[in-house]
DNA sequence: ATGTAC
């Protein structure tokens, strides 16, 4: 087993721990961003770097990092995609039985019932948005009649803890614009790297774990990647603007600035992030209900169960328990990943660890794993994917949409699109080799791989 | 990431 590589920034700051293999060490520009992050006020312990580390030009801190604070909210340590996350849905569908017309019918139905961008009209009421922001998964559970077993397969049951039980205080933390946006963007997928995929389990790597998780070779698994949509991004944007204007309320002057979590402003910000996260979890639940309805309808089998395997976020700021401390954990492209010792109350995951998605690109394999005990070093997190080798502008310069579509055809992967013009950003060759990434995760005991999957049909912006 | 500035 590898130990994480560790460096100390030249100009001081926290140690930076690299949970990856030496061939995945980031380039100089990313390293200097990490040094700035390591010097941010309020952070404690170390900066955890994940195997999918990559710089994103619009962000001050790189994707694939996790940091923690005793008493600080550090908005620039994450990005605007609050509660961006993934869920995995199991099935008893044998992929070899699926014919092209059935896949076309299913994905036409999905595209018709799950819009990529905002709905043209309001699909939920103002009161529903308010309830979702306050209750998250709890609202969804009563709306859709979800079982307790299903709720326990969602990070924090999709309901973020806030420091107040008073709904009015939570809603008072939300700016006007995201509250309004929520009425139109509920149940939408989003574009960019968001997707809904049908995958086939093509290799069982750990038969014992696969059996415990209900995963069998040849079966279909659905992976969904989306978040809180404009509710989260507008919330973040409103707060960033508030604190980055010249007349800003007090904050430290680092580019990656922080607010004391126990200050009025910090507590309000944390509450807004919790509320937007609730919306993100509810959004993934709503889309899953559409998915289940579409599968049952187009495959003409109302008895199909489609159980949730797990749902976790990879962009979040949350107060969590860690080694006997309470820490504000900031995940920036790091999936929450609890090992067996941190899931004592769950009948299956207390034995296996939390199921974790490791999506490759749309043209490559994905993996499902379980969190292993060394995630304590990453504040219980793993990489949320393969990570990029080309950033989005580089990918746009090198590939065209037509090339991406041809590559998918050549690989016999059905690609269903809504028609956004930015799919070249997601060209498969823009991402690291997922098999090397999964090896690094296993070598560092972040996750144990359980099954490998191949993409069969992909729905993308 | 976001109908990407009211």
Closest C-alpha to A81, from A190, A242, A181, A173: A190
Instruction: Locate A181 and state its tokens.
Output: 């946006």
What is the structure's pLDDT at A389? 92
Distance CA A282, CA A261 (A): 25
Question: Count of residues for chain A?
Answer: 461
CA-to-C1' span, A225 to B1 (A): 12
Report the first-to-last Cα separation within chain A, whole angstroms: 40
Distance CA A164, CA A268 (A): 10
Q: Which residue is nearest to nucleotide B6 (CA to C1')?
A: A177
Distance CA A42, CA A72 (A): 5
Residue A358, classed as helix, strand or coil, is strand
CA-to-C1' span, A95 to B1 (A): 32
Provide the 8-state DSSP code for A388.
B
Nucleotide nearest to A426 (CA to C1'): B1
Residues with Cβ within 8 Å of residue A3, at least 6 apart in sequence: none
What is the structure's pLDDT at A419? 87
What is the structure's pLDDT at A451? 98
Q: Which residue is nearest to nucleotide B2 (CA to C1')?
A: A230
Q: How many CB atoms lie within 10 A of CB A12?
A: 9
Q: DSSP assignment of A42-73, as one string?
A: TEEEEEEEEEEEE--TT-SS-EEEEEEESSEE
Instruction: Locate A254 and state its tokens.
Output: 């680092």
Nucleotide nearest to A80 (CA to C1'): B1
Compute the C-alpha angle A88/A200/A367, nearest 5°.
Answer: 55
Q: Which residue is nearest to nucleotide B1 (CA to C1')?
A: A81
Distance CA A449, CA A206 (A): 7
CA-to-C1' span, A389 to B1 (A): 19
Q: DSSP assignment of A122-187, as one string?
A: --S-HHHHHHHHHHTHHHHHHHHT--HHHHTTBGGGG----S---HHHHHHTS-HHHHHHHHHHTT
Of chain A residues 337-356, which have a beta carbon within 7 Å of strand B? Answer: none
Nucleotide nearest to A84 (CA to C1'): B1
As averages over each run of 10 residues, the pLDDT of chain A (461 residues) reads 89 94 94 95 97 92 97 97 98 97 98 96 97 98 98 98 94 97 98 97 98 98 98 97 88 92 96 98 98 98 97 98 98 98 97 98 97 98 95 93 95 95 94 95 98 98 91
Closest C-alpha to A452, from A432, A435, A437, A433: A435
Nucleotide nearest to A192 (CA to C1'): B1
Instruction: Locate A215 and state its tokens.
Output: 């995963």
Question: At A348, which helix (H) or strand (E)?
Answer: none
Distance CA A204, CA A210 (A): 7
- Given a contact cutoff of 8 angstroms between Cβ atoms, the answer to whether A215 and A223 are in contact is no
Radius of gyration over every alpha carbon of chain A, rounded to an integer in angstroms:
21
The architecture CATH gives domain A5-460: Alpha-Beta Complex (3.90)
Of chain A residues 182-201, which have a beta carbon within 7 Å of strand B? Answer: 185, 190-194
Give yes or no for CB of A52 within 7 Å of strand B: no
Nucleotide nearest to A230 (CA to C1'): B2
The separation between CA A114 and the C-alpha centre of its own chain, rounded to angstroms, equals 19
The residues that bridge with A416 in the sheet, in sequence order, are A459
Give yes or no for CB of A385 within 7 Å of strand B: no
What are the structural domain ranges in chain A? 5-460
The residues that bridge with A49 in the sheet, in sequence order, are A18, A65
φ, ψ (nearest 5 deg) of residue A85: -170, -175
Model-level pTM? 0.98
φ, ψ (nearest 5 deg) of residue A393: -60, -40
Give yes or no for CB of A176 within 7 Å of strand B: no
CA-to-C1' span, A183 to B3 (A): 15
- Given a contact cutoff of 8 angstroms between Cβ atoms, the answer to whether A315 and A78 are in contact is yes
Q: Which chain B nucleotides are covered by protein, judged by CB under 7 A?
A: 1-3
CA-to-C1' span, A211 to B2 (A): 40
Give yes or no for CB of A117 within 7 Å of strand B: yes
Give yes or no for CB of A430 within 7 Å of strand B: no
Distance CA A85, CA A137 (A): 14
């Amino acid at each position: 087993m590898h130990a994480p590589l560790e460096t100390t920034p030249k100009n001081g700051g926290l140690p930076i721990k690299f949970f990856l293999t030496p061939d995945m060490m980031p380039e100089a520009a990313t390293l200097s961003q990490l040094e700035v992050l390591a010097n941010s006020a309020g952070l404690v312990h170390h900066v955890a770097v994940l195997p999918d580390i990559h710089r994103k030009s619009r962000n001050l801190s790189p994707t694939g990092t996790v940091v923690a604070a005793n008493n600080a909210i550090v908005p620039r340590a994450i990005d605007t995609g609050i509660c961006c996350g993934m869920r995995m849905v199991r099935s008893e569908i044998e992929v070899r039985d699926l014919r092209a017309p059935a896949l076309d019918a299913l994905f036409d139905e999905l595209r018709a019932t799950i819009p990529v961008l905002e709905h043209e009209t309001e699909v939920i009421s103002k009161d529903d948005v308010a309830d979702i922001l306050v209750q998250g998964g709890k609202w969804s559970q009563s709306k859709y009649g979800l079982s307790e077993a299903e709720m326990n397969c969602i990070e924090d049951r999709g309901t973020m803890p806030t420091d107040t039980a008073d709904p009015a205080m939570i809603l008072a933390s939300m700016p006007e614009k995201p509250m309004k946006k929520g009425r139109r963007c509920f149940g939408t997928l989003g574009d960019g790297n968001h997707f809904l995929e049908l995958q086939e389990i093509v290799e069982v790597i750990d038969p014992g774990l696969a059996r415990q998780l209900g995963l069998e070779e040849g079966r279909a698994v659905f992976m969904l990647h989306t978040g809180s949509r404009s509710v989260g991004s507008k919330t973040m944007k409103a707060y960033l603007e508030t604190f980055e204007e010249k007349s800003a309320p007090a904050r430290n002057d680092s580019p990656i600035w922080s607010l004391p979590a126990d200050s009025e402003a910090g507590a309000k910000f944390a509450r807004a992030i919790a509320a937007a996260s609730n919306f993100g979890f509810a959004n993934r639940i709503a889309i899953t209900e559409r998915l289940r309805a579409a599968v049952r309808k187009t495959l003409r089998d109302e008895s199909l169960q489609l159980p949730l395997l797990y749902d976790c976020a990879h962009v979040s700021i949350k107060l969590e328990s860690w080694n006997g401390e309470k820490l504000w954990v900031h995940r920036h492209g790091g999936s929450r990943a609890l090992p067996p010792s941190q899931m004592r109350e769950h009948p299956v995951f207390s034995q296996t660890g939390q199921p974790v998605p490791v999506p490759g690109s749309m043209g490559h394999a994905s993996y499902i794993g379980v969190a292993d005990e060394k995630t304590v070093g990453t504040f219980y997190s793993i990489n949320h994917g393969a990570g990029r080798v080309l950033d989005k502008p580089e990918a746009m310069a090198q590939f065209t949409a037509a090339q991406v579509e041809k590559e998918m055809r050549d690989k016999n992967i059905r690609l269903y699109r809504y028609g956004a013009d930015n799919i070249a950003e997601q060209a498969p060759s823009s991402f690291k080799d997922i098999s090397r990434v999964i090896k690094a995760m296993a070598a560092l005991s972040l996750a144990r791989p359980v099954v490998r999957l191949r993409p069969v049909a992909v729905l993308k912006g």
